Structure 1
Amino acid sequence: MRITTKKLVLCALMTAIVFLITFTPFLQIPSPMTQGYYNIGDAAIMITAILLGRRVGFIAGGIGSALADIVTGYYIYAPATLIIKGIEGYIIGAIGSRKNGVPSRLRQAIAVAAGGLEMVLGYFIYQATVMRMINPTLGMASIIADLPGNLIQGALSAVLALIFLTVLFRTRAVKNLLR
């Protein structure tokens, strides 16, 4: 695998964008059920992975989101976020990106749906295992009650990502990027 300067710069840029969108306080909604928060940072991960592929999706999604957890004080979620959001970016990039050209809208939709579902499942497993060991008062009812919030987060992020991707794929800059 050859890493070009262009790819490295784009990876760093998208990591910063994922961080900023996840970190921005007015875009965060605290979850009283599980001591976490909802955000639309997944939209940035989805866009990144479809435009730049699974490796960049993994790095930008995992690192950008985990840094946001650390900076906002949700330290307990940072290790899980690094893995869960990284895998989310990898799955989306593996399904939804193409080396040359624009992936079909159906392919993009399947990719963001798969990535969003992985995110929901990943946090459910983390909360049901690790978080319950750390905080024994956290019941399964609270974790299950958190599922709709994560599903809405994934669905809203997917819709936003698909809208932005439709616009981005029409721009000359993105067309040049995909060459």
Structure 2
Amino acid sequence: MKNKRTTKNLAFAGMFMALTMVFTVIHIPLAIGNINFGDAVILLSAACLPLPFSVASSAIGAALADVFTGYASYAPFTLVVKALVALIAKLLLTALKNAKPAVKYPISAIPAELVMAGGYFLANSFLLEWEFKTAATSVPFDLLQGAVAVVVFTLLAVVAKIPEKVGGYLTKE
């Protein structure tokens, strides 16, 4: 039965990878960057999938979105940053497994999204040849992106109970 479970995990990882890419590509433009729902899908994958499936689907889906939207120079950074976002969220969700959903979902998502903002600050600093002041201009927008992701993820997880539904299906034989 382990093969059946692995097949389900791979199928759902592929679905989450595609959803991450699509919900990252569909965006709301801002003065610097954009707001998208890709991070909410990444957090949702961390809540639904086991390691390493959640990390791989999140990182690859987000990096593909960068490639398809003309930001290929960000793809390697995105691969690392989004993998960290999924990993941190998953580890915190595991540590908080007995907490109430309204507590564990936002508490696991907030540090992960702060890492996202910090990771993109470092990426922008590198791409801008260590012009930290210029790179810092994107931080408020990255924090806004993270806040939107936390709210959307928490609503999907607590109100729609998506992690329980998907997780229950994945653990069935």
Q: TM-score, normalised by structure 2?
A: 0.84
Contact 1:89–1:115 (8 Å) recurs in 2: yes
How far the C-alpha of 1:57 sits from its partner, in A, is 2.2
Between the aligned partners of 1:172 and 1:55, the Cα distance in structure 2 is 19
SS in 1 for 2:137: helix
How far the C-alpha of 1:120 sits from its partner, in A, is 0.5
User: Which letter does structure 2 place at the counterpart of 1:158?
Assistant: V
Q: Which residue of 2 aligns with 1:29?
A: 29
Residue 86 of structure 1 pairs with residue 78 of structure 2: no
Between the aligned partners of 1:56 and 1:174, the Cα distance in structure 2 is 14
Residue correspondence of structure 1 range 67-106 to structure 2 within 5 A: 67-97=64-94, 104-106=101-103
User: Which letter does structure 2 place at the counterpart of 1:61?
Assistant: S
Between the aligned partners of 2:138 and 2:164, the Cα distance in structure 1 is 41
- Give CA deviations for 1:148-178 in whole Å, capped at 9, x if unaligned: 1000100111000000111332798436326
Q: Which residue of 2 aligns with 1:117?
A: 114
Residue 160 of structure 1 pairs with residue 137 of structure 2: no
User: Which letter does structure 1 place at the counterpart of 2:160?
Assistant: L
Contact 1:49–1:90 (8 Å) recurs in 2: yes
- Identity across matched positions, percent: 27
Aligned length: 168
Q: Which residue of 2 aligns with 1:132?
A: 128
Pick one of 2, 19, 26 that aligns with 2:21: 19
Contact 2:128–2:135 (8 Å) recurs in 1: no
- Give CA deviations for 1:71-129 in whole Å, capped at 9, x if unaligned: 0010110000011001101111111148x88863322211100110110011111111x
SS in 1 for 2:43: helix
Between the aligned partners of 1:59 and 1:171, the Cα distance in structure 2 is 18
Between the aligned partners of 2:12 and 2:118, the Cα distance in structure 1 is 29
Q: Which residue of 2 aligns with 1:143?
A: 135
Between the aligned partners of 2:160 and 2:76, the Cα distance in structure 1 is 32
- Compute the RMSD of aligned alpha carbons: 2.7
Q: Which residue of 2 aligns with 1:49?
A: 46
Point out where structure 2 has 5 or more consecutive residues left out of the alignment: none
Are the structure 2 counterparts of residues 154 and 172 from structure 1 closer, same or farther at C-alpha, using a change threshold of 3 Å?
closer
